[in-house]
Each structure stands twice: as structure tokens, then as C-alpha cells.
């Protein structure tokens, strides 16, 4: 049985963000990997785009060991937001070079 969903809210770069997460989403994963699987849903409260999502919503499944390394769900999500915000070039389409 899945653990209950928990919610945290914080402001990132002036944008209100809500994070719903289930810290033990899948028993089969836990049995196979010997660690819990987090399901994380990130939303901008105003529906504005986020660095990792043009729609303002992103869902991810993350191993509990990764969440623990980051120091918790909020730290993980903030790190993800910061990384994608600071490195937007990686998301852009590659430049087409001229052959002439």
C-alpha cells in the first residue's frame, strides 16, 4: 500500500511552488531495490512555466537514496530547479551549421 501524499510549499525565484510527494510509492520497487521510491509532483502555483517544464507541472520518480543524498525532497526539488535554470542551453535545440 502506498504511503500518504505529503505537500510542501516554498518560493523559488519569486515563484510559489507546490510539491506533492509520496515517499513510498511502490512496494514492488522497494522489494526489488531495497529502498523506497518517491513519486514527486512539482507545480508552479500560478501555472507559470518552470525551468524543467513549460506547463508548470512535472512528475518524477526518484529513489529514496537520491532524496537522502540531497537532504530531503525540498532540497532535491530546489536543486533541480536551480540546475535547469542555470543551464538552459542544454535544453535548446542544437544550432544548425551552414555547409556553405
Q: What integer pLDDT is reported at residue 1 of this predicted model? A: 62
- Residue 20, judged by CB atoms within 10 A of its CB (0-12, 13-18, 19+), counts as middle
pLDDT over threshold 60, residue 79? yes
**Predicted confidence (pLDDT) per residue in 8-20, tens digit:** 999 998 899 999 9
Buried b (16+ CB within 10 A) or exposed e, 62-73: bebeebeebeeb
Q: Give 43-74 pLDDT, tens digit per residue.
A: 998 889 998 888 999 999 999 999 999 999 99
Q: What is the pLDDT of residue 85?
A: 72
pTM: 0.80
pLDDT of residue 3: 76
Collapsed DSSP state (helix, strand, coil) of residue 5: coil
Domain ranges for the chain: 6-88
Amino acid at each position: 500500500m502506498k504511503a500518504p501524499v505529503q505537500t510542501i510549499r516554498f518560493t523559488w525565484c519569486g515563484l510559489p511552488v507546490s510539491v506533492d510527494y509520496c515517499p513510498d510509492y511502490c512496494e514492488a520497487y522497494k522489494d526489488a531495490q531495497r529502498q523506497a521510491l518517491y513519486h514527486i509532483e512539482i507545480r508552479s502555483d500560478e501555472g507559470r512555466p518552470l525551468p524543467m517544464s513549460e506547463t508548470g507541472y512535472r512528475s518524477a520518480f526518484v529513489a529514496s537514496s537520491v532524496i537522502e543524498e540531497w537532504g530531503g525532497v525540498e532540497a532535491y526539488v530546489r536543486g533541480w530547479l536551480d540546475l535547469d535554470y542555470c543551464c538552459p542551453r542544454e535544453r535548446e535545440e542544437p544550432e544548425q551549421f551552414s555547409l556553405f
